[in-house]
Amino acid sequence: MTSLPKGTDISVQERRYPTTPASMRSFLNAFFARHFFQVQDSILQPEAFERFCNLLRKGEVNIVDIGSGPAVASLAVLDLINAINESGYRVRSNVNIVQNDSSAVCLQSSTNMLSAFRRRTGGVCVIRDPICIDVPFPDSLTQIRRISSFIGRYDLCFVSYVLDAFKKEMTHGEIGLRIKELLGCCADNGLCIILQDKFRESLIRQAGRLQGASVHKARLTQKVYDNENSNAEQLYTYFRTTVMLGSESEDHGVLTRFCLQKKALMRCF
């Protein structure tokens, strides 16, 4: 992040949707950690986590991330795999990552950050070079489909903090239908996580409803280093929809907080 230029007048819009190196720095400062931990928090819910562990056991995991930004969701997944490995349970999985973002700066940063992660961790997982699609969603669906025809269906699908951007181009109903099309490229036992902040509740509720999944209001407390570096705690509220693909049940609502407990891991590996 220190290699990115400091911006003086970064607007709220630029910070949320970075298109320059300076606004990327600002995004990383303001949102990266928040969204990263919300992705992990969503995966760590009992039913989702069990499915996640089963996917890892397959030996090959394909991730598709729409509006990927600087690889936020993929890095959250890789960090979780690392944590599982460090706890003594060896996960030997090849990871294919498909990043879709309409901003070239985001795709460049995501590639750099994934390379840095790979260098730093080494790990037992083979993280292949990410495949980047710069065509905006939903036009990107053609490429997403084509890629899945040679790497295989997607096991993990993320739509994190991008619904609001879609709203400028599509109606709520259309967004839901396009996400449904995206889920058509996902594996039967796959997992799709949609996240959005508390200010876009109706948008995520509709998107979730159209996928037959309920939406949950979640709270996550994080330590943040503010300008005074005072290590303050902040409580963030967000909404998540977890779609369990191919599942009999339509509603996977009652998911409670879950941690990387040895017992849970033992069940899965």
Give the range of 51-59, 65-73, 230-238, 247-255 binding ligand SAM by CB under 6 A: 65-73
The encoded tokens of residue 102 equal 């309409």
**DSSP E strand stretches across 92-145:** 94-100, 126-127, 131-133
The CB-side HSE value for 108 (13 A sphere, CA atoms) comes to 11
Give the range of 51-59, 101-109, 182-190, 260-268 binding ligand SAM by CB under 6 A: 101-109
Residue with the two structure tokens 């298109």? 19
Residue facing ligand SAM at closest CB distance: 69
Return the closest-CA partner of residue 210 out of 248, 265, 239, 172. 172
- Taking the complex as a whole, the smallest distance from the CB of residue 242 to ligand SAM amounts, in Å, to 15
The encoded tokens of residue 110 equal 């995501």
DSSP strand pairing (154-160 vs 126-127):
unpaired
**Which residue of 154, 161, 238, 239 would you call a contact of ligand SAM, by CB under 6 A?**
161
**Closer CB to ligand SAM, residue 135 or residue 268?**
135
By the rule CB under 6 A, 67 interacts with ligand SAM: yes
The CA distance from 148 to 265, in Å, is 29
By the rule CB under 6 A, 176 interacts with ligand SAM: no
> What residue type is assigned to position 122 of the chain?
G
Question: Distance of CA 198 to CAs 186, 238, 239, Å?
Answer: 27, 5, 6
Return the closest-CA partner of residue 63 out of 193, 209, 208, 180. 193
The CA distance from 228 to 62, in Å, is 40
By the rule CB under 6 A, 37 interacts with ligand SAM: no
Q: Residues touching ligand SAM: how many (CB under 6 A)?
A: 21
The CA distance from 179 to 140, in Å, is 12
The encoded tokens of residue 60 equal 């090959």
Give the range of 51-59, 149-157, 161-169, 212-220 binding ligand SAM by CB under 6 A: 161-169
- Taking the complex as a whole, the smallest distance from the CB of residue 33 to ligand SAM amounts, in Å, to 10
The encoded tokens of residue 268 equal 């899965």
**Which residue of 100, 148, 196, 241 would you call a contact of ligand SAM, by CB under 6 A?**
100
**Closer CB to ligand SAM, residue 163 or residue 186?**
163
By the rule CB under 6 A, 203 interacts with ligand SAM: no
CB-CB neighbours of 255 under 10 Å: 18
By the rule CB under 6 A, 74 interacts with ligand SAM: no
**Closer CB to ligand SAM, residue 93 or residue 160?**
160
> What track of x and - describes contact with ligand SAM for positions 111 through 150 (by CB under 6 A)?
-------------------------xx-------------
The CA distance from 218 to 246, in Å, is 24
**Closer CB to ligand SAM, residue 33 or residue 264?**
33
- Taking the complex as a whole, the smallest distance from the CB of residue 150 to ligand SAM amounts, in Å, to 21
Residues lying near ligand SAM in the complex (CB under 6 A) are found at 16-17, 31, 35, 66-69, 72, 100-103, 106, 136-137, 160-162, 165-166
